[in-house]
Amino acid sequence: KREDIIHFGAGPASLPSDVLATAAAALQNYDDTGLGVAEHSHRSGLAANILATMKADLANFLDIPPSYDILIMQGGGSGQFDATIYNSISIWVERQRQEILKNTRIGVNGKEISEDDMVKELRQRVEWSLKASKEAVRLLGPEYVNIVADARKISDGKFGKIPDESTWTLSRKPAMVYLCENETVDGVEWPSFPKVLEPTGPDDDHIIVGDFSSTILTRRIPIKNFSLIFFGAQKNLGITGITIVIIKKSLLPPVSAPCPPAMLRKLGLPISPIIIDYAAAAQNNSLYNTLSIFEQVLKKLLATFPDKVDGQQVVAERKAKVVYEVLDAYPTIYKVVPDKSVRSRMNICFRMIKGGNVDEAEKAFLEGAVERGLTGLKGHRSVGGIRVSNYNAVSESGIEKLVAYMKEFAAA
Ligand code: PMP
């Protein structure tokens, strides 16, 4: 039975049972319309209302400043790996193009620069910039990517520590800087946000991107330090299928235009597919195409926590602390994977060092857990071990049940 299970899956994650009950009823008959929420047109007033309420609730819960827009997109966090690159490059190149146009208009008696000269000029600028991640390597080639800090170099080839900011090799003029706030696989989280990425002033137009897939709604975010933040719904917000992008309005039209596709083509740079284009999403109120519309979690959070995300953050930290305390209390049985300085509150990853055979011990731990209704604890397939995903829907009593089992297992 549902009541007997406490699910610690890393994503998709559990959702509050009462939210699901409301959602189940809404799937059959939304607001007494005789039609389910998934059957109503995404162009209806009813859909527009749900979308507007969801954006307002999210802005309220996270204190999103009015200078940011909220886009609802599809394609998950993985879609955003591409979207952030395509869009940032296009915006960055267009900024350069506008700057060149402005300068040459002043410099050459109001005569416009020829297209060929523009391409030449832009090529030079593009060549010493444009940075990002693995997807950027795939889309653009390795020469455009600068890994600012490689955790593996300071923790035995693993992602167990975050290199000190003073050691980072930031590029002078990056097209975008990318930071994953919580690394879901190894359970590594930034204890605080990097100082070096804070804007130097209102004119600082660096594009700083934050992947908040696994910690959104669990922690106060200094939103103004980011140009855009993205996350999939499936861990803390709802069911999988939608992705949220919180983006500075100054990166969207009319302030920032994407670079004309013809120019990107000439430069040999990729043109964003329309479905992940931020300008298109913004101009169409996130309804460029059919969208999955489904929202209940924020309503419950807002009703539960008068101090909004700060209230949820206190609970999230308290739950994580209880688990780490037990792990630390049995150092001969359990070993937390990442360094103490960067332990994730959301994905608590540990190995079993009891006895000689780690695999056997972990298998026994997982089997015993399932017998007690504690599911979803197996670590990510790429690293193994145990992973306790402590998202918002995991209750404090659920955590108590887990730690009771962890103590029992350790003592056996
Ligand atoms: N970023 C992080 C931090 C994640 O944890 C995940 C998925 N677990 C993703 C991105 C990818 O998200 P999606 O599955 O929505 O593509």
CA 93 to centroid of ligand 1, rounded, Å: 28
The structural domains of the chain, with segments of one domain joined by +, span 2-15+307-411, 51-297
140 pLDDT tier (thresholds 50, 70, 90)? low
**Ligand 1 centroid, distance to 106 Cα (angstroms):** 47
To test the pocket of ligand 1, the residue of 213, 231, 391 to mutate (highest count of ligand atoms within 8 Å of its CB) is 213
Q: How far is the CA of 232 from the centre of ligand 1 (A)?
A: 7
- Give the residue, 59 or 145, on which the prediction is more confident: 59
Could you name the CATH architecture of 51-297? 3-Layer(aba) Sandwich (3.40)
- Burial label for 204, CB within 10 Å (0-12, 13-18, 19+), is exposed
CA contacts within 13 A on the Cβ side of 181: 28
- What mean pLDDT do residues 160-178 have? 83
**Contacts of residue 176, Cβ cutoff 8 Å, sequence gap at least 6:** 84, 85, 88, 89, 92, 131, 132, 207, 208, 209, 227
> 346: which 2 tokens?
């959301």
What is the 60 CA–ligand 1 centroid distance (Å)? 24
Ligand 1 centre distance from Cα of residue 76 (Å)? 7
Q: Within its chain, how far is the Cα of 283 from the centroid? A: 23
CB of residue 236 inside a 6 A radius of ligand 1: no
Give CA–CA dist 132/178, Å, rounded.
6
144/108: higher pLDDT? 144
Is the pLDDT score of 128 beyond 70?
Answer: no
What pLDDT is attached to residue 239?
86
Atom of ligand 1 nearest to the CA of 80: 16
Residue with tokens 């350790």: 410
Q: How many helices (H) and strands (E) does the chain have?
A: 11, 12
**Residue 347 near ligand 1, beta carbon < 6 Å:** no
* pLDDT, mean over the chain: 88
Task: Render pLDDT for 351-381 as a digit per residue (tens, 0 to 9).
Answer: 998 777 888 999 999 999 999 999 999 999 8
Nearest CA to ligand 1 atom 15: 76
Instruction: Give the model confidence (pLDDT) of 243-281 as tens digits.
Output: 999 999 999 999 999 999 999 999 888 899 999 999 999
Weakest mean pLDDT among 42-51, 105-114, 193-202: 105-114
At 141 the pLDDT is 62
The token pair at 62 is 């996270």
- 384-409 average pLDDT score: 96
Backbone angles phi, psi at 292, to 5 degrees: -80, 125
* CB of residue 210 inside a 6 A radius of ligand 1: no
Q: Is the pLDDT of residue 329 over 90?
A: yes
| Superfamily of structural domain 2-15+307-411 | Aspartate Aminotransferase, domain 1 (3.90.1150.10)
Report how far ligand 1's centroid is from the alpha carbon of 365 (Å).
Answer: 26
Q: Pocket of ligand 1, candidates 81, 85, 184, 185: which has the most ligand atoms within 8 Å of its Cβ, to mutate?
A: 184
pLDDT band at 134 (very low <50, low <70, confident <90, very high): low
